[in-house]
A and B are shown apart, each in its own frame.
Chain A
Amino acid sequence: MATARMTASAAPTPTGEIKAKKRLGDILFSGSTVTAGWIIVVVLAAVAIFLIAQSIPALIADPADIKGAPASFWAYVGPLVFGTLWAAVIALAIALPIAIGIALFISHYAPRRLAQGLGYLIDLLAAVPSVVFGLWGIKVLAPFVRPGYEWLATNLGWIPLFSGPVSGTGRTILTVAIVLAVMILPIITALCREVFLQTPRLHEEAALALGATRWEMIRTAVLPFGRPGIISASMLGLGRALGETMAVAMVLSPAAVISFVLLQSQNPTTIAANIALNFPEAAGVNVNVLIATGLVLFVITFAVNALARYAINRRKAFSGAN
């Protein structure tokens, strides 16, 4: 880029530096690109400002006016924050090993010619609208996994996580987490795949030359190299799962509880799902309360994403790949 800029300014002459001629087209064009850039800054500032402005009435309101009459706003948002994090973490725990497996399959196991097509196939999962995932989750997945839940509760019920009685509909937080896991698979897979493909070829060949089997090569050369990439990919996936709305709103039968059990019918709901379910009928201060919970969600996802970006950028600077 530097060379492009140098050639853009006028050629050096004996009299010293001469500024390039200011053309009207140049000024208008560069001006409009800068304006577009500023619009993004302004929009993000507006998102923060207007969310905060609309949240303040909720924070100073009498808690008795809030739906369900909690002790305070924070008592209202607490279980929601817990549910959001809990569902997202389970989803990540399910999705991450599978995503790493798929990424390895595409980058190191599948026949070269098929690899790209298989990648598209996984990307198609990302294209399915979330409302369709919700419909699928409740009509297909929930009945499908229920027998499995029965088995878990009878055989592993002594683990508190799996204690019964099993929800009769299968609409539990575990089902939600499975749907969320499917939804965040593509993004984690795509990033991991990129990172694995960047592993220096020489590292891999050196491992193989020393007599490593393919798995030993992956364990000693590919995975250590890709670790920061895997971490940031999982953070981005977590961010996705935290903000996902419709699948949770449709599949879960919600309750305002803090509970770790996975299979029962009393499940903590998430911030996003709670907003989607209550917003259409909300009025007065309850609208502000919902916006305030949205602000809390914004802050959480912002933190998670910023951490992920930090990990990615740090990696960019120090990896030998590029």
Chain B
Amino acid sequence: MASTTSVSLGQRASLTAGQLPRFSPIWLLVISWIVVGGLFTILVLAGITEDFNLVGTVFFGTLLYAAIIYVASRIVEGARKATDRLMAALVTTAFIVALLPLVSLVSTAVISGAARFDVTFFNNSMRNVVGDAPGGAIHAIIGTLEITGMATLMSVPIGLLTAIYLVEYGRGRLAQAITFLVDVMTGIPSIVAGLFAFAFFSLILDQPGIRFGFGGAVALSVLMIPVVVRSCEEMLKLVPNELREASFALGVPRWLTVVKVVLPTSVAGIITGVMLSISRVIGETAPLLLIAGFTQSVNYNLFDERMMTLPVFVYTQYANPGSDVQAFLDRAWAGALTLIVIVMLLNLIARLIARFFAPKIAR
């Protein structure tokens, strides 16, 4: 803000006369928060609301700030400057508003999930869990790992090879068609992928009510392949052409150039992309609900019988509670917390890999 209005020292007095003091926005923001916070405190003390409304304080406080700064600036600085300050306040508000759900969601998951985030949760299944027995999610964790692992095993080779085709070989109709179809695939709703897996296997295997883990892996692959293709393509495009040309000039065959030069250069980015795509599908619920089904017991076999997964575990614990509703809710939140931890870890590791193992081209 200051940079656009900076002036030489001698003129400052006359030119800053029509301006708000430099730190007034910050002070006004703090004051508005305190005022709104005070109002909510009075509401709590008067017994109208039960808890102090922190989210409301931040939200309405920021809105109050926007109004105050507009009026103050309008009086001191004029209409144009006032609009500028109002928009700056609104833009900042938008950012804060977006952070509120993230903070609320993560803190709720941590607080509610902590109740059952214990050893029993990670080494017990829900088999024969009645009455006060704590029960756990080991069956769901095993299912999630197997199904996501299988989906990764199928998606990464197909996705990576397609990306290599598009970047290194592809031209003409087929390459255009594949680029378009990958875009289309990115937009497939997850539940449609699940329906496809169900429609496919129930027709092929002639079982009208088919449920098994491998079908879930296929459904996840449909969702995962386009993400892998996209990210690998971006990474392969980043490899400088000089490297390829140097390799060709030395008489290295094309395929060895790709395997020994292009892929090693971009491997960090590719791994990052794959991890991000895993983190995207590992939380998918709808397709697994349709094709992998749900069960209470551990099932190691991808190709037979229903298989529980973590997201479906969270959903069923919430949707079909037994007599002790709170125990089921606690398990659901613990499952949700586990999922969040897995996804955040995948994201974090992926970003770290991208940062520390970036292509070694700028030497």
Contacts and interface: CB of A to CB of B under 8 A. Distances in A.
Interface stretch (B11-19, B118-126, B127-135, B186-194): B186-194
B98 interface: yes
Contact of B285 (A124, A130, A301): A130
A159 interface: no
Interface stretch (B26-34, B78-86, B266-274, B296-304): B78-86
Contact of B241 (A1, A106, A208, A294): A1
A275 B189 CA distance: 12
Interface residues of B, number: 106
A34 B286 contact: no
B357 interface: no
Contact of A127 (B4, B87, B259, B279): B279
Nearest to B157: A36
B137 to A, nearest CB: 13
Interface stretch (A75-83, A161-169, A239-247, A258-266): A239-247
A144 B361 CA distance: 52
Contacts of B294: 280
Contacts of B101: 125, 136, 141, 182
A47 B91 contact: no
B94 A294 contact: no
Contacts of A140: 104-105, 108
A120 B55 contact: no
Contacts of A215: 83-84, 87-88
Main secondary structure of the interface of A (DSSP, over half): helix
B350 to A, nearest CB: 10
Nearest to B200: A50
Interface string A257-300: 00000000000000010011001100100010011001001100
Contacts of B81: 213
Interface in B294-324: 294, 311-312, 314-315, 318-319
Interface string A1-35: 10110011000000000000001011011101111
A231 interface: no
A69 interface: no
Contacts of A86: none
B189 A245 contact: yes
B255 A29 contact: yes
Interface string A159-186: 0000000000000000000000010010
Main secondary structure of the interface of B (DSSP, over half): helix
A4 B315 CA distance: 51
B46 interface: no
B199 A50 contact: yes
Interface stretch (A60-68, A97-105, A150-158): A97-105
A47 B283 contact: no
A51 interface: yes
B102 interface: yes
A206 interface: no
B284 interface: yes
B52 interface: no
A147 to B, nearest CB: 8
A100 B93 CA distance: 12
B340 A128 contact: yes
A61 to B, nearest CB: 14
B293 A280 contact: yes
A1 B166 CA distance: 11
A44 B203 contact: no
Contact of A54 (B1, B105, B187, B199): B199
A92 to B, nearest CB: 15
B241 A98 contact: no
Contacts of A214: 1, 4, 84, 87-88
B343 A26 contact: no
A244 B284 CA distance: 10
A321 interface: no
A40 interface: yes
Contacts of A283: 208-209
Interface string B112-155: 10000000000000000000000000000000000000000000
A304 B184 CA distance: 10
A129 interface: yes
Contacts of A99: 94
A239 B187 contact: yes
Contacts of B88: 109, 214-215
A249 B285 CA distance: 11
B336 interface: yes
Contacts of B164: 33
A276 B191 contact: yes
A39 B267 CA distance: 23
A70 B1 CA distance: 62
A194 interface: no
Interface string B181-212: 11111111111110110111011000011000
Given A37-B166, A297-B191, A105 B92 contact: yes
Closest 8 A-B residue pairs measured CB to CB?
A243-B189, A129-B283, A101-B94, A305-B187, A36-B161, A29-B255, A33-B165, A213-B84
Interface of B: 1, 4, 55, 80-81, 83-84, 87-88, 90-95, 97-99, 101-102, 104-105, 108-109, 112, 157-162, 164-170, 174-175, 177-178, 180-193, 195-196, 198-200, 202-203, 208-209, 222, 225, 229, 241, 244-245, 248-249, 253-256, 258-259, 279-280, 282-286, 289-290, 293-294, 311-312, 314-315, 318-319, 329, 332-333, 336, 339-340, 343-344, 347, 351
11 contacts: A4-B245, A8-B248, A26-B253, A36-B158, A37-B175, A51-B195, A97-B94, A130-B285, A250-B318, A275-B290, A301-B192
Given A34-B174, A215-B83, 13 more contacts: A34-B165, A37-B165, A43-B185, A97-B94, A102-B94, A121-B99, A128-B102, A129-B343, A135-B318, A214-B4, A236-B187, A275-B191, A276-B191
